Amino acid sequence: MTETEHPAFLQMAPFRIAPLFDPRVWGYRDLRPWYDHVATGEPIGEVWLTGDECLIATGPHTGKKLGRLFHEFHESLLGAGAQSPDSPLLIKVLFAHEKLSVQVHPDDKMAQKYGDPRGKTECWYALAAEPEARVALGLKPGVTLDQIKAEIHDGTLEESLNVLTVTAGDLIFVDAGTVHAIWPGSVLLETQQNCDLTYRMYDYGRPRELHIEKSLEATRLVTRAGKIPPVELADRTVLIDVEYFRVERLPVVRHRAGASLPSKGEPARGLSYLFAASGAGRLIGPDFHPVDLPARSIVAVPASSPAFFIEDLGDLDLIRIAPNWPAK
Ligand SMILES: [Zn+2]
Protein backbone atom coordinates (compact mmCIF):
# COMPACT_ATOMS: atom_id res chain seq x y z
CA MET A 1 0.00 0.00 0.00
CA THR A 2 1.27 3.48 -0.75
CA GLU A 3 1.08 6.47 1.49
CA THR A 4 -1.56 8.15 -0.65
CA GLU A 5 -3.92 5.29 0.15
CA HIS A 6 -3.16 5.98 3.81
CA PRO A 7 -3.90 9.65 4.40
CA ALA A 8 -2.03 11.02 7.38
CA PHE A 9 -5.23 11.80 9.33
CA LEU A 10 -6.39 8.17 9.43
CA GLN A 11 -7.53 6.77 12.74
CA MET A 12 -4.73 4.89 14.46
CA ALA A 13 -5.24 2.37 17.27
CA PRO A 14 -2.99 2.22 20.36
CA PHE A 15 0.19 0.18 19.92
CA ARG A 16 2.96 -1.12 22.16
CA ILE A 17 6.58 -0.10 21.60
CA ALA A 18 9.48 -2.52 22.20
CA PRO A 19 12.13 -1.20 24.62
CA LEU A 20 15.73 -0.64 23.51
CA PHE A 21 18.45 -1.53 26.01
CA ASP A 22 21.18 1.06 25.83
CA PRO A 23 24.65 0.31 27.24
CA ARG A 24 26.21 2.81 29.64
CA VAL A 25 29.38 2.47 31.73
CA TRP A 26 27.43 3.43 34.86
CA GLY A 27 24.61 0.85 34.45
CA TYR A 28 23.71 -2.70 35.49
CA ARG A 29 24.23 -6.02 33.69
CA ASP A 30 21.17 -7.67 35.23
CA LEU A 31 17.95 -5.66 34.98
CA ARG A 32 15.74 -8.30 36.60
CA PRO A 33 13.14 -8.03 38.10
CA TRP A 34 12.50 -4.72 36.27
CA TYR A 35 13.12 -6.17 32.83
CA ASP A 36 13.83 -9.77 31.91
CA HIS A 37 17.17 -8.73 30.45
CA VAL A 38 20.74 -9.72 31.33
CA ALA A 39 23.48 -8.01 29.33
CA THR A 40 26.36 -10.16 28.13
CA GLY A 41 28.53 -7.18 27.16
CA GLU A 42 28.51 -3.66 28.55
CA PRO A 43 26.11 -2.86 31.39
CA ILE A 44 22.74 -1.30 30.55
CA GLY A 45 22.07 2.15 31.94
CA GLU A 46 19.07 3.31 29.96
CA VAL A 47 16.00 1.51 28.69
CA TRP A 48 14.57 3.64 25.90
CA LEU A 49 10.79 3.38 25.71
CA THR A 50 10.01 5.93 22.99
CA GLY A 51 13.28 6.46 21.12
CA ASP A 52 13.16 7.14 17.37
CA GLU A 53 14.93 3.79 16.86
CA CYS A 54 12.48 1.81 19.04
CA LEU A 55 10.39 -0.69 17.09
CA ILE A 56 6.60 -0.86 17.05
CA ALA A 57 5.64 -4.17 18.69
CA THR A 58 1.92 -4.55 17.91
CA GLY A 59 -0.61 -3.68 15.23
CA PRO A 60 -0.28 -2.98 11.49
CA HIS A 61 3.02 -1.08 11.84
CA THR A 62 4.83 -3.84 13.76
CA GLY A 63 8.57 -3.78 13.07
CA LYS A 64 8.64 -0.14 11.95
CA LYS A 65 10.80 2.40 13.78
CA LEU A 66 8.89 4.88 15.94
CA GLY A 67 10.68 7.92 14.45
CA ARG A 68 9.66 6.82 10.95
CA LEU A 69 6.05 6.29 12.03
CA PHE A 70 5.94 9.89 13.29
CA HIS A 71 7.16 11.20 9.96
CA GLU A 72 4.64 9.13 7.99
CA PHE A 73 1.62 9.59 10.23
CA HIS A 74 2.26 12.66 12.37
CA GLU A 75 -1.31 13.94 12.12
CA SER A 76 -2.75 10.58 13.20
CA LEU A 77 -0.30 10.51 16.10
CA LEU A 78 -0.15 14.15 17.16
CA GLY A 79 -3.43 15.55 15.87
CA ALA A 80 -4.18 17.99 13.08
CA GLY A 81 -1.89 21.00 12.89
CA ALA A 82 1.08 19.39 14.62
CA GLN A 83 3.92 21.93 14.74
CA SER A 84 6.56 19.37 13.76
CA PRO A 85 6.48 15.79 12.42
CA ASP A 86 9.08 14.78 15.02
CA SER A 87 8.34 12.53 17.95
CA PRO A 88 8.09 15.09 20.78
CA LEU A 89 9.08 13.08 23.87
CA LEU A 90 11.81 10.66 24.75
CA ILE A 91 10.85 8.45 27.68
CA LYS A 92 13.41 6.18 29.37
CA VAL A 93 13.95 4.15 32.52
CA LEU A 94 17.35 4.85 34.09
CA PHE A 95 19.31 2.31 36.13
CA ALA A 96 22.30 3.97 37.81
CA HIS A 97 24.75 1.59 39.43
CA GLU A 98 27.41 4.30 39.52
CA LYS A 99 27.27 8.08 39.37
CA LEU A 100 26.35 9.57 36.01
CA SER A 101 28.39 12.51 34.75
CA VAL A 102 27.67 16.01 36.02
CA GLN A 103 25.92 17.50 33.01
CA VAL A 104 23.66 20.17 31.61
CA HIS A 105 21.31 20.37 28.62
CA PRO A 106 20.74 23.42 26.41
CA ASP A 107 17.38 25.17 26.08
CA ASP A 108 15.60 25.48 22.72
CA LYS A 109 17.31 28.78 21.94
CA MET A 110 20.85 27.50 22.42
CA ALA A 111 20.12 24.20 20.65
CA GLN A 112 18.77 26.09 17.65
CA LYS A 113 21.81 28.39 17.64
CA TYR A 114 23.92 25.27 16.95
CA GLY A 115 21.54 23.79 14.37
CA ASP A 116 19.49 21.38 16.45
CA PRO A 117 15.69 21.53 16.50
CA ARG A 118 15.17 21.70 20.26
CA GLY A 119 16.82 21.64 23.66
CA LYS A 120 16.14 19.35 26.54
CA THR A 121 13.97 19.98 29.56
CA GLU A 122 13.33 16.78 31.49
CA CYS A 123 11.79 15.29 34.61
CA TRP A 124 12.38 12.17 36.67
CA TYR A 125 9.71 10.12 38.39
CA ALA A 126 11.20 7.80 41.02
CA LEU A 127 9.84 4.28 40.48
CA ALA A 128 11.95 3.00 43.37
CA ALA A 129 14.59 4.40 45.69
CA GLU A 130 16.92 3.04 48.33
CA PRO A 131 17.19 5.00 51.59
CA GLU A 132 20.49 6.62 50.54
CA ALA A 133 19.36 7.57 47.03
CA ARG A 134 20.45 11.08 46.01
CA VAL A 135 20.63 13.27 42.93
CA ALA A 136 22.52 16.50 42.35
CA LEU A 137 20.24 19.24 41.11
CA GLY A 138 21.24 22.81 40.43
CA LEU A 139 23.92 24.99 41.98
CA LYS A 140 24.20 26.18 45.56
CA PRO A 141 23.25 29.85 46.00
CA GLY A 142 26.03 32.27 45.09
CA VAL A 143 28.07 29.86 42.96
CA THR A 144 29.57 31.61 39.91
CA LEU A 145 30.60 30.38 36.47
CA ASP A 146 34.28 31.11 37.26
CA GLN A 147 34.00 28.97 40.36
CA ILE A 148 32.47 26.11 38.34
CA LYS A 149 35.27 26.36 35.79
CA ALA A 150 37.92 26.09 38.52
CA GLU A 151 36.09 23.20 40.21
CA ILE A 152 35.78 21.25 36.95
CA HIS A 153 39.56 21.58 36.63
CA ASP A 154 40.20 20.59 40.27
CA GLY A 155 37.65 17.76 40.35
CA THR A 156 35.72 19.45 43.18
CA LEU A 157 32.55 20.43 41.30
CA GLU A 158 30.32 18.31 43.55
CA GLU A 159 30.91 20.83 46.37
CA SER A 160 28.89 23.43 44.47
CA LEU A 161 25.91 21.22 43.70
CA ASN A 162 22.60 21.07 45.53
CA VAL A 163 21.95 17.54 46.76
CA LEU A 164 18.43 16.12 46.92
CA THR A 165 17.25 12.92 48.59
CA VAL A 166 15.05 10.74 46.39
CA THR A 167 12.06 8.77 47.66
CA ALA A 168 9.86 6.46 45.57
CA GLY A 169 7.04 8.52 44.08
CA ASP A 170 9.03 11.78 43.87
CA LEU A 171 8.74 13.84 40.72
CA ILE A 172 11.80 15.98 40.04
CA PHE A 173 11.74 18.72 37.41
CA VAL A 174 14.99 19.49 35.58
CA ASP A 175 14.60 22.44 33.26
CA ALA A 176 17.17 23.09 30.55
CA GLY A 177 20.21 24.90 31.95
CA THR A 178 20.14 23.08 35.30
CA VAL A 179 23.45 21.46 36.21
CA HIS A 180 22.57 17.96 37.39
CA ALA A 181 23.77 14.44 38.06
CA ILE A 182 21.98 11.21 38.82
CA TRP A 183 23.61 9.19 41.56
CA PRO A 184 23.01 5.51 42.43
CA GLY A 185 20.12 4.20 44.48
CA SER A 186 17.03 4.96 42.44
CA VAL A 187 15.21 3.72 39.35
CA LEU A 188 13.93 6.72 37.44
CA LEU A 189 11.31 7.11 34.73
CA GLU A 190 12.70 9.98 32.69
CA THR A 191 10.55 12.11 30.40
CA GLN A 192 12.36 14.61 28.22
CA GLN A 193 12.14 16.61 25.03
CA ASN A 194 13.25 14.33 22.19
CA CYS A 195 16.76 15.74 21.96
CA ASP A 196 20.22 14.25 22.02
CA LEU A 197 22.19 17.14 23.49
CA THR A 198 24.02 16.49 26.74
CA TYR A 199 27.04 18.55 27.73
CA ARG A 200 29.28 16.71 30.19
CA MET A 201 31.05 18.96 32.70
CA TYR A 202 32.71 16.40 34.89
CA ASP A 203 32.88 12.61 34.63
CA TYR A 204 34.76 11.38 37.72
CA GLY A 205 37.91 10.69 35.71
CA ARG A 206 36.21 8.36 33.22
CA PRO A 207 37.63 8.64 29.72
CA ARG A 208 34.45 9.92 28.05
CA GLU A 209 34.50 13.24 26.22
CA LEU A 210 33.72 16.44 28.15
CA HIS A 211 32.01 19.53 26.67
CA ILE A 212 33.16 22.20 29.07
CA GLU A 213 32.73 25.35 26.95
CA LYS A 214 29.22 24.46 25.80
CA SER A 215 28.22 23.27 29.25
CA LEU A 216 29.22 26.65 30.69
CA GLU A 217 27.26 28.42 27.94
CA ALA A 218 24.18 26.29 28.69
CA THR A 219 24.38 26.66 32.48
CA ARG A 220 21.92 28.91 34.24
CA LEU A 221 22.90 29.79 37.81
CA VAL A 222 19.27 29.86 38.97
CA THR A 223 16.59 27.58 37.49
CA ARG A 224 13.15 26.24 38.42
CA ALA A 225 14.44 22.70 39.06
CA GLY A 226 13.22 20.81 42.11
CA LYS A 227 10.64 18.41 43.48
CA ILE A 228 7.09 19.03 42.29
CA PRO A 229 4.26 18.26 44.72
CA PRO A 230 1.50 16.10 43.22
CA VAL A 231 -1.92 17.63 42.60
CA GLU A 232 -4.85 15.30 43.35
CA LEU A 233 -7.81 15.73 41.01
CA ALA A 234 -11.07 13.79 41.06
CA ASP A 235 -10.04 11.46 38.22
CA ARG A 236 -6.21 11.49 38.35
CA THR A 237 -3.09 12.72 40.11
CA VAL A 238 -1.07 15.31 38.22
CA LEU A 239 2.61 14.67 38.96
CA ILE A 240 3.82 17.49 36.73
CA ASP A 241 2.29 19.74 34.07
CA VAL A 242 4.81 22.13 32.52
CA GLU A 243 5.65 23.64 29.16
CA TYR A 244 6.78 20.48 27.35
CA PHE A 245 5.04 17.56 29.07
CA ARG A 246 2.66 16.35 31.69
CA VAL A 247 2.93 13.18 33.74
CA GLU A 248 -0.09 11.82 35.58
CA ARG A 249 -1.05 8.77 37.59
CA LEU A 250 -4.41 7.31 36.54
CA PRO A 251 -6.53 5.22 38.82
CA VAL A 252 -7.83 2.16 37.00
CA VAL A 253 -11.24 1.57 38.47
CA ARG A 254 -12.33 -2.02 38.02
CA HIS A 255 -15.80 -2.55 36.69
CA ARG A 256 -16.59 -6.11 35.76
CA ALA A 257 -14.34 -7.22 32.89
CA GLY A 258 -12.54 -3.96 32.58
CA ALA A 259 -12.21 -0.38 33.59
CA SER A 260 -12.76 2.74 31.64
CA LEU A 261 -9.87 5.06 31.11
CA PRO A 262 -10.82 8.38 32.62
CA SER A 263 -10.72 11.67 30.74
CA LYS A 264 -11.13 10.16 27.28
CA GLY A 265 -13.58 12.95 26.52
CA GLU A 266 -11.16 15.79 27.31
CA PRO A 267 -10.79 18.18 24.40
CA ALA A 268 -7.57 18.32 22.36
CA ARG A 269 -5.90 15.53 24.20
CA GLY A 270 -3.53 14.65 21.41
CA LEU A 271 -0.90 11.95 21.75
CA SER A 272 -0.28 10.24 25.06
CA TYR A 273 1.66 7.27 26.36
CA LEU A 274 0.53 4.75 28.98
CA PHE A 275 3.28 3.18 31.09
CA ALA A 276 2.75 0.31 33.54
CA ALA A 277 4.91 1.32 36.51
CA SER A 278 3.91 -1.99 38.10
CA GLY A 279 1.35 -4.70 37.49
CA ALA A 280 -0.05 -5.35 34.05
CA GLY A 281 -2.98 -4.27 31.94
CA ARG A 282 -4.62 -4.65 28.58
CA LEU A 283 -6.20 -2.11 26.24
CA ILE A 284 -9.44 -3.32 24.73
CA GLY A 285 -11.47 -1.55 22.07
CA PRO A 286 -14.14 -2.60 19.60
CA ASP A 287 -12.02 -1.47 16.64
CA PHE A 288 -8.65 -3.11 17.32
CA HIS A 289 -6.99 -6.27 18.63
CA PRO A 290 -6.38 -6.08 22.40
CA VAL A 291 -2.96 -4.63 23.27
CA ASP A 292 -1.17 -6.06 26.29
CA LEU A 293 0.63 -3.69 28.65
CA PRO A 294 3.07 -5.80 30.68
CA ALA A 295 4.96 -4.32 33.63
CA ARG A 296 7.36 -1.49 32.64
CA SER A 297 6.15 -1.48 29.04
CA ILE A 298 4.65 1.46 27.20
CA VAL A 299 1.75 1.88 24.79
CA ALA A 300 1.32 4.89 22.52
CA VAL A 301 -2.22 6.26 22.31
CA PRO A 302 -2.43 8.32 19.10
CA ALA A 303 -4.50 11.51 18.96
CA SER A 304 -6.76 9.70 16.48
CA SER A 305 -7.19 6.58 18.65
CA PRO A 306 -10.63 4.99 18.81
CA ALA A 307 -12.20 4.66 22.27
CA PHE A 308 -10.96 1.85 24.50
CA PHE A 309 -11.02 0.38 27.97
CA ILE A 310 -8.17 -0.65 30.21
CA GLU A 311 -8.40 -3.98 31.91
CA ASP A 312 -6.37 -4.34 35.09
CA LEU A 313 -4.66 -7.73 34.95
CA GLY A 314 -3.40 -7.29 38.51
CA ASP A 315 -2.00 -4.38 40.55
CA LEU A 316 -1.74 -2.09 37.56
CA ASP A 317 -0.08 1.22 38.43
CA LEU A 318 -0.70 3.35 35.38
CA ILE A 319 1.28 6.45 34.43
CA ARG A 320 0.17 8.65 31.54
CA ILE A 321 2.70 10.89 29.81
CA ALA A 322 1.75 13.44 27.19
CA PRO A 323 3.48 16.27 25.33
CA ASN A 324 2.55 19.90 25.96
CA TRP A 325 3.20 22.55 23.35
CA PRO A 326 4.67 25.78 24.66
CA ALA A 327 3.15 28.95 23.22
CA LYS A 328 5.22 30.24 20.33
ZN1 LIG B 1 20.00 14.97 32.00
Question: Cα(126) to centroid of ligand 1, in Å?
Answer: 15
Note the pTM of the prediction, 2 decimals. Answer: 0.93
| pLDDT tens digits, 169-183 | 999 999 999 999 999
Looking at 3.40.50.150, 3.30.1360.120, 1.10.10.10, 2.60.120.10, the CATH number of the domain 19-53+89-227 comes to: 2.60.120.10
Centroid of ligand 1 to alpha carbon of 125 (angstroms): 13
pLDDT mean over 125-140: 97
Query: Is-same-fold flag (19-53+89-227; 231-323)?
Result: yes
Whole-number percent of the chain with pLDDT over 70: 91
Specify whether the CB–CB gap between 94 and 34 falls below 8 A: no
DSSP 86-100: S--EEEEEEE-SSPP
Where are the domains positioned within the chain?
A: 19-53+89-227, 231-323
With a cut of 50, say whether residue 259 has pLDDT above it: no
Average pLDDT, rounded, for the chain: 91
Q: What is the pLDDT of residues 19-55, one digit of tens each?
A: 999 999 999 999 999 999 999 999 999 999 999 999 9
How much distance in Å is there from the Cα of 163 to the middle of ligand 1? Answer: 15
Q: Is the Cβ–Cβ distance between 178 and 119 less than 8 Å?
A: no
The pLDDT assigned to 322 comes to 95
> For residue 252, which of 231, 274, 270 has the smallest C-alpha distance?
274
Instruction: Give 143-163 pLDDT, tens digit per residue.
Output: 999 999 999 999 999 999 999
Instruction: Quote the ligand 1 centre to 180 CA distance (angstroms).
Output: 7
CATH of 231-323, one of 2.60.40.3470, 2.60.120.10, 3.40.50.970, 2.60.120.260: 2.60.120.10
| Residue closest to 221 by CA, chosen among 152, 160, 132 | 160
The 10s digit of each residue's pLDDT in 182-204 is: 999 999 999 999 998 999 999 99
User: Looking at the predicted structure, is the pLDDT value of residue 7 above 80?
Assistant: no
Cα separations in angstroms, 234 against 10, 231, 255, 299, 317: 32, 10, 18, 24, 17
| Residue 130, pLDDT score | 96
* Range of lowest pLDDT (191-205, 266-280, 298-312): 266-280
